[in-house]
Structure 1
Amino acid sequence: MAHQEQAGRPGQGEGAGEGEERRHGLSSGLTLTTAAFLFLLLRLFAVSGYQWHTAFAVLHTLDLDDSIGIVLGTVLADSVVAAVLLVVLLPAFLFRVLGGFMLAARMREEGKLDRDARIDLAGIGMLAIAVAGMTAYVLSFGTWWLPLASVLVVAVMVGFGVLTRGAQGQVGEASRWAGRHVMGLVLGASVLAMLVSAAVVRTPWMPLERVELQGHEQPLRGYVLEAEPGFLKFLTEKDREFLIIRDEDVKSREEVLEH
């Protein structure tokens, strides 16, 4: 009986470990889902000028299929916010990928199983997106100083790591903890940066337009949220007034290239 109890204990431990892993995965999934919901909610209020009734009207122009466009539109809509995100996130993703390679090399040296040394495909993908975004931004706006700013951020991060490597006490413990959790910290910083952008970027996820109307001397400037046969759902640029305009009242529509 004692032998059977001892033999059963590893299985119980493995089951507990698997259960804990499942709970951790569920918790991470719920956290990301909550962040995604908060992001969309903040975007809805930001583009509505934090006006409750306008946000309610804009909500009815959205579809679940618009989620990707809303996320990308948040980054592309405001050139200043996009520049700040690129300068900060590019080095962060770079450190995440390099940290993953260094961790995998250390595990191989220690003789651990290959399954423990996984390639960080998500980090590599995010780094590639950041590099592509940086390239597009520089070519579009001629801001050749932007990569230099990212290099400066890298230098600051490396310098901070060197200074804190031999630190003692709470500073040393904090720096070593950050080194062990660099991937999670990068992901958290990325989520926080996107939430802040969602809250402060007032430009919607569609281009600014100039719409001339019948019987109006001055054209309207704003955003066409939805174009259905017979009418347009329009959000004005300054006052964030939600309008429904009939097609027969529209003389012309012209995109305004401002970011």
Structure 2
Amino acid sequence: MDADADTPRDERDAQDRPDVSVRLGTTAAVVVLFLVLRLLAVAHWDWHVVAAIADTFDFSDAFPIAFGTVVGQPLLTGILIAVLLPLVLMRVLWPMDKHRGTITVSSVLGSVTLITMAISMTVTFGNPWTVVGAAAVGAAVIGMRLWWRTGVVHDTLLRLSRRVGVLTATGLLILAAVNDVPWMGEERIHTDTGVVEGYVLDAQPGFLHVLTHDREVVIIPDADVHSRELVD
């Protein structure tokens, strides 16, 4: 009896393992594609510049790159948050019938993260449109759910709430592809031969790798540098 009872559970566990592997593989592929698109955008889609930037790239830069991508395009980021926040909150606070009892920690953390980003963008840029946009999308979603309890609209909302992760990944990839501002601050570097303005990709003992506005990677010896200052 016990063996028969355990068999279905073992079969379910075996079925879950491939699904986890697929998700991990998909996540890794999205991360790699995100970094490639980001590098291409910064290099203005010039593979020679990408190769020069890649020489200075370290995977420890992944988080600064991701953060710089999000804050570097406040308009597009605000639109993405305004669309995603109501969908994630709906999944957590008002799940559809097929989602009841399936709230995950990632959904809750995603809601908190999006709310925090919306508030911080409003405070930083003094622009309430992200919050207003999220409220408008949320009101539209609530209205559609109350009005259409079955049918095409209801099924569309169900699909969207199921695919918040896909929507988030798509939005981040779009941000990576259009944001050509490097993930570090612009600097003005005073040297023996003049002033160089650009982005310091790497600061190794003895020299600097600098990406200029013309998308050239130049190497400046430390001995030639008199001072460095951030450009406002």
- Alignment partner, residue 220 of structure 2: 245
Q: Letter of the 2:155 partner, please give it.
A: R
Figure out how many residues of one structure are paired with residues of the other and give that number. Answer: 232
Please provide the CA RMSD for this pair.
2.6
1:45 shift after superposition = 0.9
Aligned partners of 2:55, 2:162: CA distance in 1, in Å? 35
- Structure 2 matches for 1:61-210, cutoff 5 A? 61-99=56-94, 117=101, 119-167=103-151, 171=152, 175-176=154-155, 178-179=157-158, 181=159, 183-210=161-188
Cα 1:52–1:133, aligned 2, differ >3 Å: closer, same or farther?
Answer: same
Q: Letter of the 1:123 partner, please give it.
A: S
Aligned partners of 1:80, 1:57: CA distance in 2, in Å? 30
Structure 2 residue matching 1:224: 3-state secondary structure: strand
Q: Letter of the 1:133 partner, please give it.
A: M
1:145 shift after superposition = 3.1
Q: Larger Rg: 1 or 2?
A: 1
Contact 1:99 1:182 in 2 (8 A): no
Aligned partners of 2:95, 2:141: CA distance in 1, in Å? 17
Contact 1:47 1:201 in 2 (8 A): yes
Q: TM-score, normalised by structure 2?
A: 0.87
Structure 2 residue matching 1:143: 3-state secondary structure: coil
Identity %: 31
- Alignment partner, residue 58 of structure 1: 53
Contact 2:91 2:103 in 1 (8 A): no
Contact 1:233 1:242 in 2 (8 A): yes
Q: TM-score, normalised by structure 1?
A: 0.79
1:183 shift after superposition = 4.7
Contact 1:101 1:119 in 2 (8 A): no
- Structure 2 matches for 1:226-237, cutoff 5 A? 226-237=202-213
1:218-246 CA-to-partner distances (Å, cap 9, x unmatched) read: x3332111111111111112x21111111
Aligned partners of 1:143, 1:165: CA distance in 2, in Å? 35
Q: Structure 2 regions of 5+ residues with no counterpart?
A: none
Aligned partners of 2:46, 2:62: CA distance in 1, in Å? 21
Match of 1:19 among 14, 18, 35: 14
Aligned partners of 1:74, 1:80: CA distance in 2, in Å? 12
Structure 1 residue matching 2:44: 3-state secondary structure: coil
Q: Letter of the 1:231 partner, please give it.
A: F
Q: Letter of the 1:63 partner, please give it.
A: D
Q: Letter of the 1:249 partner, please give it.
A: D
Q: Structure 1 regions of 5+ residues with no counterpart?
A: 107-116
Contact 2:87 2:160 in 1 (8 A): no
Aligned partners of 2:76, 2:187: CA distance in 1, in Å? 21
Cα 1:126–1:145, aligned 2, differ >3 Å: closer, same or farther?
Answer: same
1:22 shift after superposition = 1.0
Aligned partners of 1:212, 1:177: CA distance in 2, in Å? 57
1:157-213 CA-to-partner distances (Å, cap 9, x unmatched) read: 22333343233xxx26xx33742x555311111011011111111111111222233
Contact 1:100 1:120 in 2 (8 A): no
Structure 2 residue matching 1:128: 3-state secondary structure: helix
